[in-house]
Amino acid sequence: MSARVLATAIAAWMLAGCGQPAGAPMEPADPPGPALLFAAGHGDLNVAERGQVFGATGLAVAPDGKSLIDGICGEPAGATVEFRDMNADGRQETLVVYGNSCTSGHTGSTAVLFIRDAAGNLRANLGFPAASADPLPEKNQGYPDLLIGGPGFCFGVWRWNGSAYEYLRNEPQMPGGCDEVKP
């Protein structure tokens, strides 16, 4: 076997091992911040989109290079990323729950949901203190209503209006949970 054939075979094998088809250009590595945020996986986001999502959080890489800090107080910040195809279009939406008490007050985290617009560009939704954004069975224009968790016993429900999620109603998490909350 010639050296050229051997080199081509090795390159094809290495690319196949990375999930890339033979002959496809390799995607560049993530910068440190997106690499930390998406360490558990990146769904169907490309490197530029992962950078966009990371930038929207306002987080930074801690001096140790192994964790995240908030960009306001410089304190340790947590972050989780979930991928869901919420509207069954074959593309995943990206939910990031991140932060700490400096960025998000008593709730301790903020939720941002990235949804693709008609052109395929990511658009941020929500973006306020929340511990979770859980899909409910009810849907509007293909997207599920979202139960937005936080401290206390009264959670908000948000509904898709065709271009963004907007507040719909409060939902008590126990009898009387929303009695003292004004709409």
Three-state DSSP at 53 gives helix
* The predicted structure's pLDDT at residue 25: 66
Question: Splitting the chain (183 residues) into consecutive groups of 10 residues, what average pLDDT does each group show?
Answer: 40 41 70 96 96 97 97 96 95 97 96 95 97 97 97 96 96 93 72
Q: Is the separation of the CB atoms in 147 and 128 below 8 Å? A: no
pLDDT value at residue 9: 39
3-class state of residue 76 by DSSP: strand
How many other β-carbons are positioned within 10 Å of the β-carbon of residue 111? 26
- Taking a C-beta distance cutoff of 8 angstroms, is the pair 94, 43 a contact? yes
